[in-house]
Amino acid sequence: MAPLSAMRSIGGDFLRRLVRVADAALRRIGGVSEFETADDGLLRIAEGHAEHDFVFRDGAHVRQRQAVIDLHLWNEHLPPFPYGGPELGWKKRVRQQLMASLQRLALRIVDNTRLEGAQALRMTISIPILGQQSLLARLLISTGFEAGELASRNSAILRFLDDIWAWLLTWTYNPRALAGWRFNRTRAEFWMSRARCLALYGDGATIGLDQENVLDSG
């Protein structure tokens, strides 16, 4: 009979396979697809629509029901979390991956007629309701995104299921990131206008990003 630790390992591997299958099925249902083939690609995309108006700091805006590009993290390409936590080198590597993906996406936005009507990029992430701002949120801000609204979910059951799914995804793809994990989470939106994306990451980019000091803490 296999030792208990081996049985637990087998059970864990089986559950991770189930999570990966479910994750792939949800992506297909949601129309999430790859737009790049690079091994370090960190983003997938889906066509979406704004559920509410959003005004950017520069005065640009997205109106409700306008087309947007929904971004999804490519979990399999996220570098493994360091044992001691996300040191600055790891943060910079992920930031570079994110910026490289945004550069490739800027090219796709220009060339792909299906995306030409999209007014903005939007990423919705899971964050703790209480406590320090999430690392992914700080990474997004450091690459040109602006924080939007928190999702309002009145159903405790939906919040619980969302918490469990976020935990399972992290446990499957990057389990070391569960250190200090907080349940009781919500969803937060991060936005970048089409014009800003092309100015930052398109051919002949005309503006630059601030320094990375936003990554120095946490």
pLDDT in tens, 181-208: 888 888 899 999 999 999 999 987 766 6
pLDDT of the residue at 129: 76
Q: How far apart are CA 182 and CA 149, in angstroms?
A: 20
How many domains is the chain built from? 1
Segment 81-120, tens digit of pLDDT: 888 888 889 999 999 999 999 999 999 998 888 888 899 9
pLDDT of the residue at 4: 47
| Residue 12: inside a domain | no
Question: Token pair 């005065």 is at which residue?
Answer: 59
| Residue 139: inside a domain | yes
**Domain hosting residue 93, numbered range:** 31-215
pLDDT of the residue at 215: 60
